């Protein structure tokens, strides 16, 4: 089944603290639906983040924009 995960469940599965996950959610690096103060994160999104994680669970930095 493809039920969405709570922030707590997603943080545990990704190896992040809950505060770090919230920081990623607020920064737009992880997509989720928000219901009041609760976030629900699709399992596909968790799997996408797992595939991007590098050493120690870090996400790659976004490429810098060149001014031109």
Query: What confidence tens digit (pLDDT) does each residue in 2-55 have?
Result: 789 999 999 999 999 999 999 999 999 999 999 999 999 999 999 999 998 877
Closest CA to 19 of 8, 28, 29: 8
Going edge to edge, which strands form the sheet with 38-41?
A: 5-6, 38-41, 33-35
* pLDDT (0 to 100) of residue 63: 64
pLDDT given for residue 68 in this prediction: 63
pTM of full prediction above 0.85 = no
Task: Specify whether the CB–CB gap between 38 and 7 falls below 8 A.
Answer: yes
């Amino acid at each position: 089944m493809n039920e969405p995960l709570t922030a707590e469940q997603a943080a545990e599965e990704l190896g992040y603290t809950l505060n770090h996950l919230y920081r990623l959610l607020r920064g737009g690096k992880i997509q989720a639906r928000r219901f009041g103060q609760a976030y629900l994160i699709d399992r596909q999104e968790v799997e996408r983040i797992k595939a991007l994680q590098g050493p120690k669970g870090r996400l790659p930095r976004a490429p810098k924009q060149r001014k031109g």
